[in-house]
Structure 1
Amino acid sequence: MATTPTTERQIKKVVTSTAIDYTALITDDSIRITAQSVTVTLHAASAEDGKRISVSRRYAAGTLSSIAPDGGDTINGSAASINLVTNNTSFNLESDGVSDWGIV
């Protein structure tokens, strides 16, 4: 069942910064990776149809970080993670409300 964002939700964006592996919460709108080799695992795509989340890498050097789908979910139809290789790389994703996160 789809949920409709509230006016408050549209105005107030939840931004999370993380330097460790992190599982996205349904309340997260933007996640900033602030350290090397961090994996952000998306919450289940079925949790909210049309949910948008932005994941960005905000440090200067080092090894890659990644965005991983939850359990049996996919990102653009693939079960593989997305790698964020360079500084200031960002991906915007949108849930289909079932099992896939599309890159938008």
Structure 2
Amino acid sequence: MLYILANGAMATALAYGLKDDYEICIVGRSIEKLQALTKEGFKTLLYKDFNIEGKDVILAFKPYALENIAQILKGRARILISVLANVDFEKLQTIKAQNYVRI
């Protein structure tokens, strides 16, 4: 399963593009916004309920939110894939992961 962190335009575009090949879970901060994605067949979680331990995670939120989201997340991801603009590996490492990928 792939976990996409965010539910904005970039995140949902990724989710729709990957849903035929992967099981997708979208993680966001607003239950109201996630409900629409649940109706589209995606699994959803709130950041506060999400443990990244051993998971494959795609970061697709706005870069300014990295610090706040890093403080909320628990565990260590198996792989962390970032599509965040202008965020280097040093900043990505505020979220714990075994492997990091920037796209």
TM (norm. structure 1) is: 0.33
Q: Which has the higher helix share?
A: 2
Which structure would you say has the larger Rg? Answer: 1
Q: Which has the higher strand share?
A: 1
